[in-house]
Structure 1
């Protein structure tokens, strides 16, 4: 209960700041170390989702940050609670997503004695978070929380970790609230855009690669208009497909893991690459083989919101420190050349993209995940959300599904297993009216599978399409390539996932052949419950057109 004397507890001050900054959702696993903050949430207009594991709470917060561009919020308790949550912090770092993780801490009078579950969070998270700090004085909460929001969002977005000593949260103070934050856009200079104009006019084979964070629907629309005026092929980097409508005539495809060989050749042959919003790290750069380092073999224009990234790996011909939203708005002022030297390239690139993912490739077994993805592509609405974690199963999503709108794929560029389920919970929390489908592997799902109960508890009607091949498929693929026939540590024995879903109070159905999938999906939708569609599949197919035995045979032959 709040006092009438004008003072507030640290917990009350903290939650008041979150409300002020526009927070509508928070995710947590409760802990005695931040009870005063929990108590303040009791009367706050913030929807609190209680999770079964801190990694889920942190991943849900990261997914909200990824989707909205505003910090996702999670609370975890000290020690093991914080280290469990570190998985989500790492995703936010690599994916450039704004999030804030509040961590309960031991009382200030116990610090530096290694008290129960005590950790120094500045040290623990110093190499992962953009900023890790601890609040010693309740009167400084508005200042520090405001800084946390600005830090999480400005420049290259990322995670902030704020430790909350237990006794600080019960201290009372009289302090005014901060003012509501708004992210600061970084705009390109007139000279930058003038130089870019000249480089585009001189180009013969340009292509744009877009990805990263700090995009918006308006930015994507502006990028598409720019591509139309310049007849420019545009590809999206690893797991960033929704930034550009897949059916737009200038869309060249997904430039992530295992891209269309024709698209890969197109990028390699380009004389000008316009890279917007992405760091071009290991996955999209094809393990750092695409561009020469430090000076790329073609002219590179690198547009990025954080100046520290420009020139860090690649020395661009033109570096532009700007957020994608601001930069794409500035593109409206550029004019195409009178004669477009690359005319027809976008049409060819789009045709190559359509042909690459039009029909599912054949594969061993009675269930073809490619055909499942084509069915989902043809039957889900354009605002349906797909989430996934890490595993070879995701290659079928990237090749055969077509994303039409922003925030319809929520997936980790960090390659974190277990992400798909928490991300689907977050998206169903944000967008309860939309269909949310989590595509997961068996090993991937079991990383965070206990939080299927969270979906049941909060009525989040997600649908999990669970690809069960009884193995850690990605690792098995590398194992067969490097140590053919010597299988160790990658086989899995799984539960009956239909019984699993039902035991939690959800809906479950097993599918043993592709033709049965549409009816199973319709039954899951009709149930209105959190659902698992258990696809019992053969272990042979690893990616579209690539089998386990083919990898092993090639490795054994020494080819």
Structure 2
């Protein structure tokens, strides 16, 4: 007799085999790891899934966690990371924190001491519920082998539902070595939140009453379809569109409604436009400290502007800002709904939109900078020279302001940046992006300090033949902190400089190509050579960009910051 479709085979398997089978069912194609004896049964179980799951062996847990986080940003599916207990978990915590503040779906699996040793401070033992409790959506420990499928299914659901984020699961050794006869559970189903008809009607009415509306888009879950639908909605309702802090990929900045990058270091014109808006339509973004410049251009708890806040997590709405209207919806569902909307009366805001876009285009003109190599000029050159769909990854530091300002990002996958502002992100994210989309040009922008926090992941690029291009900006200082130091303690710089290796020579040790660029006029040809090598050889190419440290940000110098701070001190002394 033919078996019923509802009958499920229940072979006896160890915990590692059960877990890896669940990951396969839930659609995992690649995961990032540092091997550890604490989860050996999982590692062994890879043998049964060679055709479906690719394990990427990284060099340090922070790099592995960053790669998983970048995978989550790119795909919308949870990025998977495996690390060992204790030091492995603490090293990986930076990726979990990034995923939490960036609202990225991610699952971190950590080996754990067996339950027979638990609460004895055994070798490398940590209570992960307490350790990760404030930086993850859910932290749990799987203490029974037969409950692994249940925990894995819940982890995928939690990581992707509402506001996406990281889940941490601890895996005691006795759970992984233990065996059970247990059913596999089906693949998780992502739950979407949709705006209701009354939500859309009220929003339309508020927009029709506004004279100077501004849309700010951000967050996760954007697709090309969602971006297209929101762009059409912005056209019909005549609304300029800004991208939230480090969410540059959420809107095609070639579009005539594009208004620029809202947040720290935005142009004076855009800052004033945010202040002058009589209505803010925030879609997918929490409107955090960076986007609102310390809750100043959009004030908390009561904004001067009317605020329509669209966000997938109800608990976030009204938490920091009191909105005129709160809509619980994820960006894809909201975009699909507004694609069907049109204003009842043709709006008269074309000039408002055109001025916003004209100001944005004017900001793309390179500003003057000191020395023979201009970061403003080479950022503009790179933007023009690289394919429009190239993926740009960036860590943290003042150098990041240049690709943020001068690159016109075109949509999902074109920017991978940690909104949490964590250093060392760029290279691991670039490797993850290139593994996921090998035909796409991937360029990592990294400061000399930022790059050295994870440069060992060049070994992953070598091992897996990943042709990324890395631009290392070498000024031999921690530039962002130096700028702050000059503002607060002018002329007293200390403890912020360092000596660097020859980065161009270093990348050659990893099978790559390296060049030093010290003049603006040499950059375009060097970038072309780097891209050609990376694409031809499937190995990393690095340009070490050496420049005058005085040029600290677009249109700013350290000397000018110091002089202004000293002038303020003199004025304050004279007033006493």
Coarse TM-score class (shorter-chain normalised): over 0.9
The separation in 2 between residues aligned to 1:177 and 1:366, in whole angstroms, is 62
The separation in 1 between residues aligned to 2:511 and 2:470, in whole angstroms, is 14
Q: Is the 8 A contact 1:382 1:405 kept in 2?
A: no
Q: Is the 8 A contact 2:227 2:411 kept in 1?
A: no
> After the TM superposition, which of the residue ranges 439-448 and 330-339 deviates more from structure 2?
330-339
Match of 1:536 in 2: 546
> After the TM superposition, which of the residue ranges 240-249 and 521-530 deviates more from structure 2?
521-530
1:338 is displaced (CA, Å) by: 2.0
1:390 aligns with 2:400: no
Match of 2:69 in 1: 62
Match of 1:513 in 2: 519
Match of 1:324 in 2: 331
Match of 2:475 in 1: 469
1:417 aligns with 2:423: yes
1:201 is displaced (CA, Å) by: 1.2
Matches for 1:98-497 after TM superposition, within 5 Å: 98-357=105-364, 359-497=365-503
SS at structure 2 position matched to 1:43? helix
1:386 is displaced (CA, Å) by: 0.3
The separation in 2 between residues aligned to 1:94 and 1:390, in whole angstroms, is 15
Q: Is the 8 A contact 1:97 1:159 kept in 2?
A: yes
SS at structure 2 position matched to 1:333? coil
1:49 aligns with 2:42: no
Residue in structure 1 matching 2:29, options 7, 24, 31: 24
1:5 is displaced (CA, Å) by: 8.9
The separation in 2 between residues aligned to 1:361 and 1:337, in whole angstroms, is 43
1:526 is displaced (CA, Å) by: 3.0
Q: Is the 8 A contact 1:211 1:243 kept in 2?
A: yes
SS at structure 2 position matched to 1:284? coil
The separation in 2 between residues aligned to 1:541 and 1:411, in whole angstroms, is 22
> After the TM superposition, which of the residue ranges 497-506 and 148-157 deviates more from structure 2?
497-506
SS at structure 1 position matched to 2:462? helix
The separation in 1 between residues aligned to 2:317 and 2:411, in whole angstroms, is 28
The separation in 2 between residues aligned to 1:526 and 1:278, in whole angstroms, is 37
The separation in 1 between residues aligned to 2:47 and 2:521, in whole angstroms, is 48
The separation in 1 between residues aligned to 2:552 and 2:10, in whole angstroms, is 65
Q: Structure 1 residues 349, 5: CA separation in 2 closer, same or farther (over 3 Å shift)?
A: closer
1:132 is displaced (CA, Å) by: 0.4
The separation in 1 between residues aligned to 2:407 and 2:430, in whole angstroms, is 17
Map Cα deviations across residues 77-134 of structure 1 (whole Å, 9 max, x no partner): 0000000000000000000000000000011111000000000111100111100000
Any stretches of 5+ residues in structure 2 without a counterpart?
1-8, 572-576
Q: Is the 8 A contact 1:203 1:341 kept in 2?
A: no
Match of 2:89 in 1: 82
1:341 is displaced (CA, Å) by: 3.4
Any stretches of 5+ residues in structure 1 without a counterpart?
none
Match of 2:574 in 1: none
Map Cα deviations across residues 341-378 of structure 1 (whole Å, 9 max, x no partner): 32321111111100111x21111111111211111111
> After the TM superposition, which of the residue ranges 219-228 and 362-371 deviates more from structure 2?
362-371
The separation in 1 between residues aligned to 2:270 and 2:490, in whole angstroms, is 31
The separation in 1 between residues aligned to 2:478 and 2:156, in whole angstroms, is 38
Map Cα deviations across residues 183-226 of structure 1 (whole Å, 9 max, x no partner): 11100111111100111111111110110112222111100110
Q: Is the 8 A contact 1:231 1:344 kept in 2?
A: no
- CA-atom RMSD in angstroms: 1.2
The separation in 2 between residues aligned to 1:192 and 1:316, in whole angstroms, is 13
Using structure 2 for the length normalisation, give the TM-score: 0.95
Question: Structure 1: which 4+ aligned runs deviate by more than 4 Å?
Answer: none
Map Cα deviations across residues 127-184 of structure 1 (whole Å, 9 max, x no partner): 1110000001111011000000000000000000000011211111111111101211
> After the TM superposition, which of the residue ranges 518-527 and 33-42 deviates more from structure 2?
518-527
1:328 is displaced (CA, Å) by: 1.1
Residues matched between the structures, number: 555
Q: Is the 8 A contact 1:105 1:165 kept in 2?
A: yes
